[in-house]
Chains A and B, each alone.
Chain A
Amino acid sequence: MAIDALVFVIGIYVLALVIALFVGVVIVAIRRLTAERVKVAAAGAESSAKAKEATT
């Protein structure tokens, strides 16, 4: 009975690991997306500054 319980609980451990790693993937995705947005915003600011410089 304890062996059955051990097998049962190892399955739960593996499932918990997979879900936890999925949370890690979500975090990495958020970091990538926000980093992209920062880059785009920085590039936008740079080009608008250049445009402003050209008009003056």
Chain B
Amino acid sequence: MANRISGSTVAVILFSAGVGAAIALIMTPSAVEPARRSARTADGKPNFSGVWQANNEAYWDLQAHAARPGAVTQPGVYPSYEFARVPAAPVLALGAAAGVPGSLGVVEGDGQIPYKPEAAAMKQENADNWIDRDPELKCYLPGVPRAMYMPYPFQIVQSTNKIQMAFTFANAARTIHLDAVEGPPDDTYMGHSLGRWEGDTLVVDVTGFNGKNWFDRAGNFHSASLHLVERFTLINPDAIRYEATIEDPAVFTRTWRIAMPLYRRLEPTIQLLEYPCIEFAEEFLYGHVRKPQLVKRWEGETMTVEITRKVPPGDRFYDWYRK
């Protein structure tokens, strides 16, 4: 009981400190630059310029889900209980940092993704083979809408005829053409985006996909016939309501929709920092053709990842446990 009280006292202090910091941020005149705070552009449109980030768990799974003990799990001692699964080898060494947070989901309506039966089977297969199949792990261009809610900031540079979106992940980018430029003759990872204003909402029609992207790490996917209609609406100068209507007759039985807020990164010095994942993914992709192999070892079709951990001398937890 005493412990619990001191726990909540700490929480109150932390909360007060947080509010104090927030007020300090607001009261400091130079803390947020004027351009970032302007609600409208020079041509009278809502101003989306700035650095933004989704703050949800959609990148794990668009759908509502409970937390899981690992990004990859295997059956535990109760093989028939899903909730009793344990972290599997690829993430085990990371302990509690390797789990998946729970989520209320971002799929509108009944929260279901209306897969055709064969597509539903493919989604399940994707999930079961996540490590081998997810293009994110290979650092492929993330596509849209996935790029919009990955756990990295992205920047919008809004001009009159073009809106440029620069993403941290994979140094990806997309250009939204407000001047109705004809699309390229070839399909793309990031799609061809045509924007228009409906009142104060930016509506973006995206087509021209190559069908190689996923929506999330749960194996949700689409085909090259994906047609997205995105809607960006300012809730206030520092939050956007982002909606995407998803139409793909090759994969889904009807259109469906995701929606979430995107939040402005209010740190006065915020800027995108590169996440050079092509380089980061090289060991994952090409480690097996090294001489000699470093982290993983392939023998025929089987990959072995050895995890060797030694408890450092003087570790208090293990010392106590040894008694």
User: Is B truly associated with A?
Assistant: no
Where the two chains meet, the residues of A that have a C-beta atom closer than 8 Å to any C-beta of B are none
